[in-house]
Homo-oligomer: A and B are copies of this chain.
Amino acid sequence: MDNHVYKKVEIIGTSTISSDDAIKNAISRAAKTTHHLRWFEVVETRGSLKDGDVFQWQVTIKLGFTMDDN
């Protein structure tokens, strides 16, 4: 069995729809440039307001991925 090494990066996704959607947007963007994404951990949920309602959900996550061995 290989002793894989993983790296975590911290990303903030945003969405006007929902907190879950903000997470998905962050992952979707990161997947364009980072391979082997394995898991995420929610660090913080916040958002901006406008006219007494949520304008934009902003969710900070950590993304874990396998480091290639070459």
Residues of A at the B interface (CB closer than 8 Å) are 1, 3-16, 18-20, 22-32, 37-42, 44-49, 51-54, 56-57, 60, 62-64, 67, 69
Interface of A is mostly: strand
| Complex contact B40–A16 (CB within 8 A) | no
Cβ–Cβ contact B67 & A53, under 8 A: no
Residues of B within 8 A of A51 (CB): 31
Smallest CB separation, A1 vs chain B (Å): 7
A30 surroundings in chain B (CB, below 8 A): 5, 52
Residues of B within 8 A of A49 (CB): 27, 37-40, 63
CA A46 – CA B48 in complex, angstroms?
Answer: 17
